[in-house]
């Protein structure tokens, strides 16, 4: 069958969502005719068809996008309301993208997968009704406003990434079908045999792979590592808080901190250099592919003590209160003392992209 992904940021912004689209589309291509509509160029090793939608987009405003993503539900500022009604700059560009993409795809497309929200999901819903196609929305936004709007669009299937998100979605489903399928990891690309890069920092090495924005709480991670007498923190990411986080680390972790921006295909070598991977996202974070990548490399994880992260990490890591820095420090210290053996890799193997793609294939055929 013909399957189309609509991914506005594809080819321009390397996030977990873009990894999800690329890996899933590649595997679905074995049995389906898959097209990915995106604004950026085709990704390396893509076996699916890439439909590049040429739009005039000011990508220098990405920091503004990340700021908007942290706005609170009860914030009634003009900026927040503009975003809630999808009238801000990025929402308007996504509207243009959806309109252009839906004009390009074949009328006999069987399944449209929206990985966005707002205009992309709404216009995809209307297109699917008109052409008799099925709309699948991947809940990559996580519990909150955007996924409520996604559910309001009444997709033929809303894919929750965890059991927690599935329960939340069913309470807000407006009659939409909710299924639970997690994100995955490439077990061949991420493995313990990868040669590590050389990192000139004192050991042990804690690795944090995250966008440098408020919702990732990298400042909390810096403070937690600073509470240890030894060890360093390597952060892989970009974002609007880079300058302030670098300044904070210079005060709290002199000589024990570095922040780098690394292409995704080079990240395995950095995981291989680490001892523990840590990031403490909020409850509204939908998943955390970085945890799967770390565990596939054989590394333990220290993350937030919440239902989604417990489901993802299982017994391959430890959990901490997001707002208790002292506890966070103690848990990092404890993680170093445990012989994790094969537990991380075994946990990651539950999330093989091949298994995940098979679940999506069964979903498409059931619609």
Q: What is the pLDDT of residue 68?
A: 46
Print the domain residue range for 258.
Answer: 205-350
Angle (CA) 245 247 253, round 5°: 85
The total number of structural domains in the chain stands at 2
* Residue 189 lies inside a defined structural domain of this protein: no
Domain for residue 291, yes or no?
yes
Residue 270 lies in a domain: yes
* Nearest Cα residue to 293 out of 316, 318, 320: 316
Residue 173 domain-assigned (yes or no): yes
The whole-number pLDDT of residue 193 equals 95
Q: Taking the model in full, what pTM does it have?
A: 0.94
Is the same domain home to 226 and 300? Answer: yes
86 within a domain of the structure (yes/no): yes
**CATH (domain of 290):** 3.40.50.2000
Instruction: Please tell me the distance from the alpha carbon of residue 185 to that of residue 316, in angstroms, as a whole number.
Output: 15
With b meaning 16 or more CB within 10 Å and e meaning fewer, what string describes 144-175?
bbbbbbbbebbbbbbbbbbebbbebbeeebee
**Cα–Cα nearest to 145, from 202, 81, 88:** 81
SS3 278: strand
Q: Do 333 and 356 sit in the same domain of this protein?
A: no
Same-domain check for residues 165 and 271: no
16 belongs to a structural domain: yes
Residue 62: predicted pLDDT? 76
Q: Given its phi and psi angles, is residue 223 left (phi above 0), alpha (psi -120 to 50 degrees) or beta?
A: alpha
Q: What is the pLDDT of residue 78?
A: 66
Reading the block at residue 286, the tokens are: 């939908």
Say whether both 359 and 339 belong to one domain.
no
Residues 145 and 76 in one domain: yes
318 and 254, same structural domain? yes
Q: Do 232 and 177 belong together in one domain?
A: no
Residues 230 and 247 in one domain: yes
Q: Measured between alpha carbons, how far is 33 from 41 in angstroms, rounded to an integer?
A: 19
Give the pLDDT confidence score for residue 69 in this predicted structure. 46
Is 200 domain-assigned? no
Helix axes 325-337, 218-226, angle to 10 degrees: 70
The answer on 215 and 93 residing in a single domain is no
Statement to judge: residues 358 and 343 lie in one domain: no
Domain annotation covers residue 192: no
**Do 43 and 180 share a structural domain?**
yes
Contact at 8 Å (CB) between 312 and 162?
yes
- Do 329 and 356 belong to one domain? no
Identify the pLDDT of residue 82.
78
Length of the chain: 367
CA angle 176, 178, 180 (to 5 degrees): 165
Angle between helices 16-28 and 353-366 (to 10 degrees): 70
List the chain pLDDT tens, one digit each, 367 residues.
999 999 999 988 878 889 999 999 999 999 999 999 999 999 999 999 999 999 999 988 877 665 444 444 455 566 677 788 888 899 999 999 999 999 999 999 999 999 988 999 999 999 999 999 999 999 998 998 899 999 999 999 999 999 999 999 999 998 899 999 999 999 999 999 999 999 999 999 999 999 998 889 999 999 999 999 999 999 999 888 999 999 999 999 999 999 999 988 999 999 999 999 999 999 989 999 999 999 999 999 999 999 999 999 999 999 999 999 999 999 999 999 999 999 999 999 999 999 999 999 999 999 9
């Amino acid at each position: 069958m013909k399957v189309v992904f609509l991914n506005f940021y594809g080819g321009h912004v390397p996030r977990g969502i873009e990894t999800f689209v690329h890996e899933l589309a590649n595997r679905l291509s074995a049995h389906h005719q898959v097209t990915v509509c995106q604004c950026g160029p085709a990704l390396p090793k893509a076996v699916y068809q890439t439909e590049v939608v040429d739009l005039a987009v000011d990508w220098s405003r990405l920091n503004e996008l990340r700021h908007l993503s942290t706005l609170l539900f009860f914030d009634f500022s003009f900026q927040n309301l503009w975003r809630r009604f999808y009238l801000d700059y990025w929402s308007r560009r996504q509207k243009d993208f959806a309109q252009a993409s839906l004009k390009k795809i074949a009328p006999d497309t069987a399944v449209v997968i929206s990985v966005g929200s707002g205009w992309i999901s709404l216009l995809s819903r209307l297109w699917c009704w008109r052409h008799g196609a099925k709309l699948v929305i991947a809940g990559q936004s996580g519990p909150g406003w955007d996924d409520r709007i996604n559910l309001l669009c009444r997709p033929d299937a809303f894919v929750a990434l965890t059991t927690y998100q599935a329960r939340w979605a069913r309470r807000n489903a407006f009659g939409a079908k909710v299924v639970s399928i997690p994100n995955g990891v490439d077990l061949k690309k991420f493995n313990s045999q990868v040669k590590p890069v050389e990192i000139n920092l004192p050991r042990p090495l804690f690795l944090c792979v995250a966008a440098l924005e408020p919702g990732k709480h990298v400042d909390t991670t810096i403070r937690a590592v600073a509470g240890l007498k030894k060890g360093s923190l390597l952060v892989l990411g970009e974002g609007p808080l880079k300058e302030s986080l670098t300044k904070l680390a210079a005060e709290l972790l002199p000589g024990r901190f570095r922040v780098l921006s690394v292409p995704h295909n080079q990240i395995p070598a950095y995981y291989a250099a680490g001892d523990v991977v840590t990031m403490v996202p909020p409850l509204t974070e939908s998943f955390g592919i970085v945890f799967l990548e770390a565990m596939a490399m054989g590394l333990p994880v220290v993350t937030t003590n919440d239902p989604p992260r417990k489901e993802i990490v299982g017994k391959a890591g430890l959990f901490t209160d997001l707002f208790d820095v002292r506890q966070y420090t103690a848990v990092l210290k404890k993680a170093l003392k445990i012989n994790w053996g094969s537990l991380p890799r075994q946990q990651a193997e539950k999330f093989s992209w091949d298994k995940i793609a098979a679940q999506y294939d069964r979903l498409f055929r059931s619609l």
